Amino acid sequence: MASDLHPSTEQSTTSLISGIIDDFERLVKQQMALVRTEITNDMRKATDAALSLAAGAAVSFLSAVAMFFALVHLIHWASSPQGADPAWIPLWGCFGLVGAALALVGAILLLTAAMKLKSIKPLENPATQGLKENITWATHPTK
């Protein structure tokens, strides 16, 4: 009579194991999607860093060219007779100011690129760590 009051709801061992395997497969699929998203984000960060690096290198190159022209005009100005250039800022100074401004912009772009590159850590994100733990558990469940 006691068995009539509480119907048996126990599942078979096979269905329990099947459920565990299904849950594990779903977990691995979800973690793979998360890892894929993390990789996409890292690739976006790397692209942004590469663009900043290229822009910084280009601006720094232009700065070097402007500084080169400033040096050439400085030599010309230094070798010219007194009062030959009536301008308030000599031409070499103009090139120097533009070169310095470009150098500042280039340095900022290069520092930004370096900071972006340092922020990319593809093997240290939570999704990858979780996937490693699940694979470890699946291959060695006693650890």
Looking at the domain assignment, is residue 52 inside a domain? yes
Reading the block at residue 3, the tokens are: 């068995």
- Taking only the tens place, the pLDDT of each residue in 32-84 is 888 888 888 888 988 999 999 999 999 999 999 999 999 998 888 888 888 77
CB atoms within 10 A of CB 58: 13
Q: What's at 130, amino acid-wise?
A: G
How many domains does the structure of the chain reveal?
1
Looking at the domain assignment, is residue 8 inside a domain? no
Residue 106, pLDDT score? 94
For the stretch 84-111, what's the b/e string if a residue is b when 16 or more beta carbons lie within 10 angstroms of its beta carbon?
A: eeeeeebbbeebbebbeebbebbeebbe
Q: Where in the sequence is the domain holding 47, given as residue range(s)?
A: 14-139
Looking at the domain assignment, is residue 36 inside a domain? yes
Q: Is the pTM of this model over 0.75?
A: no
Q: Which of 34-48, 87-101, 125-139 has the lowest mean pLDDT?
A: 125-139
What are the residues whose beta carbons fall under 8 Å from the beta carbon of 43, sequence distance 6 or more? Answer: none
CA distance 66 to 102: 9
Looking at the domain assignment, is residue 86 inside a domain? yes
Looking at the domain assignment, is residue 3 inside a domain? no
Looking at the domain assignment, is residue 72 inside a domain? yes
Residue 129, pLDDT score? 74
